[in-house]
Structure 1
Amino acid sequence: MHVTPASPVTPVPTSDLYDEHGEALALCTTQFRQFGGRRLFAGPVRTVSCHEDNALLRALVNTPGGGAVLVMDGGGSLRTALTGDLIAGAAQRNGWAGLIVNGAVRDSVALGGLDLGVKALGTVPRKSGKTGAGTVDVPVTIGEVTFRPGDTVHADDDGTVIVPTA
């Protein structure tokens, strides 16, 4: 399944969204850390499910992002980094709004200098595999919620919320 992102979404602070919409939103309970220079970001969800292998996501961020947020389900692994400054830099250049990584990143100082939202569980210097294993644009469940391609995600220092597609 391939999802074409809609037009860019104006980010709204997650606390404001939750105050207005409450339980109509899906609240991700995973306590991601902020790494990118853009601390408030939002966009249509695209997904990659890839365990300790970043070949698929590297290919995806090198396509037009259209303001989407790429949610990467690395199974929570902190053994290898799914993204670093090169992949995140490609995402920024190609118009992605942000990256949410259920796993680790590397090059954290450089990530902070990018105009891109980047949330992840932590850091590790080890590179990931490059076999291309995984799937693109499939529902992924992280932090008690399912991110579905086409839903809208808003993320900031307070958390991550999903506005389900109507």
Structure 2
Amino acid sequence: MHTIEHDIERPDRSIVEEFEEVPSTIVSDVTGNIGLTMDAGMRPVGDGVEMAGTAVTVNASPGDNLIIHKAITMAEPGDVLVIDCDGYTDVGHVGELMCGSCKANGLAGLVIDGGYRDSRELAEMDFPVYGRGVNPQGPLKQDPGSVNVTISVGGVSIDPGDILVGDDDGIAVIPGDGAERVLELAHEKMDAEDATREEVQSGKYLLEINGYDELLDDLTVVGPEDSIQ
């Protein structure tokens, strides 16, 4: 059984574009560091990656990419194609031609929790691609799948219209209905870090600036004399 939903609610494009200037680390910090940052296995194919866009979600059968081809035709400029292949890396579900089609049609990137191929070509394409692993073997085209349903990619639950922010560090996810508040917090965090950066460059320690020494005072610190003999 498969579901194909053509109409999804996207955040205002101007808000999404503002996230292009926000690092994934900042987004992760202001969203609480829990549940909205993809795991370390989701890596960019190349270096110097910057990505921000709205999710068009795909639930694809591991080893099959028929529904991915369909989803590419449904995505709009500024979207990120986010594909759940259940982490399957024994097949390259997408490659140079499919990602080239995404780029030519204005997509902001592609994220696949599964395998991809043509890694050299993808790294040179100047199009953000993230995946869990690379494999030269091609996929089947026979199993159904779904487009624009809730999926899980990189350990994060993603709905159509959520915002993905990616760079060399990884990917952070912003629920579409909370984008404005996250953006506000992100700007506040970036301003605060700019101020802290100046203090660090003057020689001050983060332990002192952030009051971490007070945390240490609340801990029981033991030395070698306290170890079990």
Aligned residue pairs: how many?
166
Structure of greater Rg: 2
Runs of 4+ with >6 A deviation: none
1:36 and 1:133 map into 2 onto residues whose CA distance is 30
Would you say the 8 A contact 1:45–1:70 is kept in 2? yes
* Other-structure match for 1:16: 26
Richer in strand (by share): 1
The percent of aligned pairs where both chains have the same amino acid is 31
2:105 pairs, out of 86, 94, 103, with 94
Structure 1 pair 64/159, CA: closer, same or farther in 2 (3 Å)? closer
Unaligned segments of structure 2, at least 5 residues: 178-229
Q: CA deviation at 1:23?
A: 4.9
Q: Give the alignment of 1:1-166 within 5 angstroms.
A: 1-2=5-6, 3=8, 5=10, 7=13, 9-10=16-17, 11=20, 12-23=22-33, 26-36=36-46, 39-51=49-61, 52-63=63-74, 65-131=76-142, 133-166=144-177
Aligned amino acid, residue 27 of structure 2: L
Structure 1 pair 125/118, CA: closer, same or farther in 2 (3 Å)? same
Cα offsets for 1:108-137 (capped at 9, x unmatched):
000012121100011100111112521111
Structure 1 pair 130/45, CA: closer, same or farther in 2 (3 Å)? same
Partner of 2:69: helix, strand, or coil? helix
Q: CA deviation at 1:101?
A: 0.6
Structure 1 length-normalised TM:
0.89
Unaligned segments of structure 1, at least 5 residues: none
Structure 2 length-normalised TM:
0.66
Structure 1 pair 38/115, CA: closer, same or farther in 2 (3 Å)? farther
Q: Which stretch shifts more, 137-146 or 57-66?
A: 57-66
CA RMSD of aligned residues (A): 2.1
Aligned amino acid, residue 50 of structure 1: A
Would you say the 8 A contact 1:151–1:163 is kept in 2? yes
Partner of 2:99: helix, strand, or coil? helix
Partner of 2:142: helix, strand, or coil? coil
2:155 and 2:34 map into 1 onto residues whose CA distance is 15
2:47 and 2:72 map into 1 onto residues whose CA distance is 17
Richer in helix (by share): 2
2:39 and 2:91 map into 1 onto residues whose CA distance is 22
1:56 and 1:107 map into 2 onto residues whose CA distance is 20
